[in-house]
Chains A and B, each alone.
Chain A
Amino acid sequence: MDLKVDGLSHWYDDLEVLRDINLTIPQGEIVCVIGPSGCGKSTLLRLLGGLEVPSKGQVLQVGAPPPDSLNPLTYVFQDFALLPWRSVESNVSLVLERHDLSKEQVEARIADVLNRTRLTDFCKAVPKQLSGGMKQRVAIARALSVNPAVLLMDEPLSALDSQTRELLMGDLIDLWTREQFTSCYITHNLAEAVRLGHKVVVLSRRPGVIREVVEIDAPLVERRVSDSRISSIQQGLWEMMREEAQSADLELARG
Chain B
Amino acid sequence: MTEKSTRPPGPLSDATDVERPVSFRGGGFVVQPRRLVGPVVFIVLIALWELGSRSGLISALVLPAPTEAFSAFMDLVESGNLQKHLGASLQRLVIGFSAGTVLGLIVGTAIGLSNYARAGVAPLVAAIFPIPKIALLPLFIIWFGIGEESKVATILFGCFFPTVIATYGGIDNVDRTLIRMGQSFGLSHWNIIRKIVLPAALPAILSGMRISAAIAIILLVAAEMIGAEFGIGAYVLLAGNLMSTDQLIAGVTVLSIMGLTVNWLITKAEKTFLSWRN
Q: A residues within 8 Å of B by Cβ?
A: 49, 51, 71, 73-75, 77, 79, 81, 83-86, 94-95, 97-98, 126, 128, 146
Contact = CB atoms under 8 A, between A and B. Distances in A.
B253 interface: no
A98 B276 contact: no
B193 interface: no
Given A74-B185, A97-B195, A98-B188, 5 more contacts: A51-B184, A77-B177, A81-B175, A81-B181, A128-B277
A95 B187 contact: yes
A127 to B, nearest CB: 8
B199 interface: yes
B183 interface: yes
B94 interface: no
20 contacts: A49-B184, A51-B183, A51-B184, A71-B185, A71-B186, A73-B184, A75-B184, A77-B177, A77-B180, A81-B177, A81-B180, A83-B196, A83-B200, A85-B274, A95-B185, A97-B191, A97-B195, A98-B187, A98-B191, A126-B276
**Size class of the B contact interface (CB-based, 8 Å):** 10 to 19
A97 B175 CA distance: 21
Given A83-B196, A83-B199, A97-B191, A77 B276 contact: no
B181 A77 contact: yes
B128 interface: no
B188 A74 contact: no
Interface string B159-190: 00000000000000001011011011111100
Nearest to A81: B181
Interface string B225-259: 00000000000000000000000000000000000
B234 to A, nearest CB: 43
Nearest to B274: A85
Nearest to A148: B185
Contacts of B277: 84, 128
A229 to B, nearest CB: 36
B184 A74 contact: yes
Contacts of B274: 85
